Every structure is written in C-alpha cells, then in structure tokens.
C-alpha cells in the first residue's frame, strides 16, 4: 500500500479515497450511512417480531468453563463445536438432541499472564474453529493449525504458521478447499492461506502463502490486529475485519501515534486467494467502527461486529454491502466478537460482550437490519453460532467468578441459564419465517 488518504466528514458519514499498488489505479468509496434502531421499517411498518427464546442448557463435563473462544455449527452433521480452553479441546454437541457428545483434546488450554491474575488470550487455545464435511479446523495458542477428522475424532495433522502467538479466527471457501486463518496477536498481524480437504477422505492440508496488509495501513509496532475473516460467495473473496488502521481519519490516534487525537476506525480487507502476488485486493475503511466479528448475510451484505474495545464510544454494528460498499448501522448493539447469520430464520445473532448493561445475545432482522431483541448473557459472552436446519442458537456461558476466579461471570445470568455453577452452552430457539415453516 503506497498511499492511504481518508476524508472524515463526521460521525457515520464519509467518502474515502484509497490508492495502492495492490489495488487498481485507485479505488473510490463513498458510503452514505443511516443509523437505525429497533422501532419501525423504512416504510413506517413495524419489523417482524422477535421470537428468540431460551430452550435448554447443555452441561460440559470436566473443568468449569472459565475461558472459551469461537464456536461453529455444521448443520449437515447436526454438530456444534466450541473452542473450550478450560478443557483443552473442542467440545462437540449434538444439535439434533442438544446433548454433549465428546471433547477432542490436544490443545494448549488456558495460559495465564505473567502475574497469574488473568487469562493470556494471545497464548491460550483452542481459538478459531470452522468445519466442512468430516473435517474440523482449529487454531491453537502455539500458532498452529490442527486438522481433525471428525469420523475418527482425532487430530491428524498439526501445521505451524511460524508465529509465536495464537492462530485465531478462520474461514473456509464454500467448497471447503481453501482456508484462511489469522494470527491476530502478532505484530504486525498476518493471515495464512492453506489448502484444505474439501470433501476428500484423506488429509492433504498444506500452507500456501502468508498474507500481510501494507505497512501504511497496519504499521508494525502499534499493536494492531486482523480479526474474523469470512468467505463471501457473492464476490468470491475472503472478507476480513480489521479493528484499527492508520489514518482513518487522517491524524487519528492508534497505538502511541497522535495521542490525544480521536481514535482511528477500522477497515475491511478484501482478499483474493487466487492472486498470490497481491492477495489484498482492497482495503475498505469503515466509519467509526472497530470490527471483530464478520458474517455474510443476504444480498451480499456482511455484518461486522464493531466494539468500543477497539473504537471507544462506538455503540452500533455495521452491515456493509460487499458489491457497493454502502453500509447501514444497527443502533444500540455493540461489542460483538463473533457474529453469525442464520439463513433458516433470516436473523443475525451477535455475541455482544461490551454492551453498557452487560453481555447480550443480539438478534437482528436479516432483511431490515433492525435490532429486534437483546437477551442477557453471562459476563464476557462473546461467541455465538446457529444451526440453520433447526433454528437453534448456541451461546457458551462462563462459570461464576466465585468458582473460576478472574474471567468468570460477575452476574447471576450464567448460573440461572445453566442451572449450575459450572458454566454451560445455553441454547435458544426461534421459529422459521412463515414462508419456511414447511
């Protein structure tokens, strides 16, 4: 990236100019934003009522849940997968019967900070997780990708990305043949492109290339990051969240640069896995949004989980169209690490841990992009996944602080949902839209 220029016109409205040797001669993006909130549709009608309700809780055997990361559902296998650091493995839940099946171990588990007072997320694992067919892929705290054969329930390969911190969030192409995984805590951060197994019977995962954003966008030494990627079939590209980039807007503050100035906003990386010479095809700056989560919804829309942990003062969530780069904001919903679109119910679900009143499961209409519902969760609830065949939503809950210490739930919500003091996976349900009931 040779040059990056952003003109900031005020909260939630911007036109940004971006030039780069990695792009075309220039990319001009102009996105007019509208902040929305629950209440009514653009035509004045009320949005469809939310019906998300608590269904049951699934206990996880072993250690009480203190720390977990990303989760994933494969509806074809009727399985939910949770990166459970407390038990050093991937928990597998049967989503047809909502029962615990097993934990696949072999991960580093919880690592504490030097003082021993908190979980060191940058070196704990498992972290990111995704699946296709019988193959499960998970990142670990030692910068390795673990390939799991779900039929045998064993780790069949471990591949290093060459980093010293965790391999975090990841995404697969629709056919399951390419995998993009991110080392979010390296400085500077990078992604690794792997071949993946698709529907093959035997494992052949290999490292293809390392992908880095230009130093003008993500400078080294500033502690910046790359977060959740997702595959957008509408443009045949990976789309990845970047919490903070330099000079968005010009003169903003990031790391130790320009202290006292307004904080820099984040961006979206558009990554072409077929162009190994210049895979970062576009950098799309966002307006007052520092995103973590990313999920593809209908009509080439992608929801990004903005969070005040990255962009102080942010209280909204952004939905960006990957064709036009126009966006709309979902009001009164923020702090989402993982976000998930469920086509079965046409709803987005957010693991929103940084809401002013505490962590919630956010429910957003996939057509209107209106916030429909927020449901209280245990402290630090940041992971969510849904089964699109059964329209059930899975949200892990940490055990109380009195049981697990720092990082535990400081509310009574988790224990009430779980019916125990050990944490659990809470299950919520939602009927399908009327036109899908059959």
pLDDT tens digits for range 165-195:
999 999 999 999 999 999 999 999 999 999 9
The full set of domains in the chain, from first to last, is 3-50+68-390 (2.130.10.10)
Q: What pLDDT score was predicted for residue 51?
A: 87
Residue 152: which residues within 8 A CB-CB, separation 6 or more? none
Residue 273 parent element (H or E): none
Share of the chain above pLDDT 90, in %: 85
In this structure, what DSSP letter does residue 109 have? B
What are the distances in angstroms from CA 281 to CA 220, 236, 257, 399, 415? 20, 12, 26, 43, 46
183, 240 Cβ separation under 8 angstroms: no
Residue 34 parent element (H or E): none
Share of the chain above pLDDT 70, in %: 87
Low-confidence ranges of the chain (pLDDT < 50): 1-42, 437-438
- Alpha-carbon gap, residue 366 to 356, rounded angstroms: 24
Terminal Cα-to-Cα distance of the chain (whole angstroms): 51
Q: What is the value of pTM for the model shown?
A: 0.89
Q: Which SS3 state, helix, strand or coil, does residue 435 take?
A: helix
CA angle (159 as vertex; 398, 132 as ends), nearest 5: 65
pLDDT tens digits for range 28-77:
233 333 333 434 444 555 555 658 999 999 999 999 999 999 999 999 99
């Amino acid at each position: 990236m040779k040059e990056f220029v952003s003109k900031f016109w005020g909260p939630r409205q911007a036109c940004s100019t971006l030039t780069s040797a990695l792009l075309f001669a220039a990319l001009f993006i102009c996105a007019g934003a509208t902040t929305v909130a629950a209440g009514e549709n653009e035509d004045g009608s009320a949005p469809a009522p939310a019906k998300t309700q608590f269904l049951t809780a699934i206990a996880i055997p072993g250690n009480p849940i203190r720390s977990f990361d990303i989760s994933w559902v494969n509806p074809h296998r009727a399985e939910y997968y949770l990166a459970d650091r407390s038990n050093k493995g991937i928990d597998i839940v049967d989503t047809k019967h909502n029962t615990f099946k097993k934990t696949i171990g072999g991960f580093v588990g919880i690592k504490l900070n030097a003082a021993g007072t908190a979980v060191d997320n940058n070196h704990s694992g498992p972290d990111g997780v995704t699946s296709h067919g019988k193959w499960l892929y998970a990142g670990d705290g030692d910068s390795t990708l673990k390939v799991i054969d779900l039929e045998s329930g064993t780790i069949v390969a471990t591949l290093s990305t060459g980093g010293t911190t965790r391999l975090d969030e990841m995404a697969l192409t629709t056919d399951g043949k390419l995998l993009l995984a991110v080392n979010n805590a390296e400085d500077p951060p990078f992604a690794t492109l792997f071949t993946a197994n698709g529907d093959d019977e035997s494992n052949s995962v290999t490292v293809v290339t390392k992908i880095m954003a230009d130093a003008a966008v993500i400078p080294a030494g500033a502690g910046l990051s790359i977060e959740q990627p997702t595959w957008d079939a509408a443009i045949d590209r990976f789309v990845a969240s970047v919490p903070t980039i330099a000079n968005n807007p010009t003169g903003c503050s990031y790391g130790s640069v320009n202290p006292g100035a307004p904080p820099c906003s984040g961006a979206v990386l558009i990554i072409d896995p077929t162009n190994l010479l210049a895979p970062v095809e576009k950098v799309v700056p966002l307006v007052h949004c520092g995103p973590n989560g990313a999920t593809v919804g209908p009509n080439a829309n992608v929801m990004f989980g903005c969070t005040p942990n990255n962009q102080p003062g942010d209280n909204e969530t952004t939905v960006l169209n990957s064709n036009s780069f126009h966006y709309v904001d979902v009001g009164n919903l923020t702090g989402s690490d993982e976000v998930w679109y469920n086509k079965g119910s046409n709803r987005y679900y957010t693991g929103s841990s940084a809401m002013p009143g505490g962590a919630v499961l956010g429910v957003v209409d996939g057509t209107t992009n209106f916030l429909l519902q927020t449901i209280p969760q245990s402290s630090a609830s940041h992971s969510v996944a849904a089964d699109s065949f059964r329209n059930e939503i899975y949200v892990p809950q940490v055990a109380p602080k009195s049981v697990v210490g720092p990082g535990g739930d400081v509310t009574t919500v988790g224990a009430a949902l779980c019916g125990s003091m050990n944490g659990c996976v809470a299950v919520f349900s939602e009927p399908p839209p009327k036109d899908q009931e059959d």
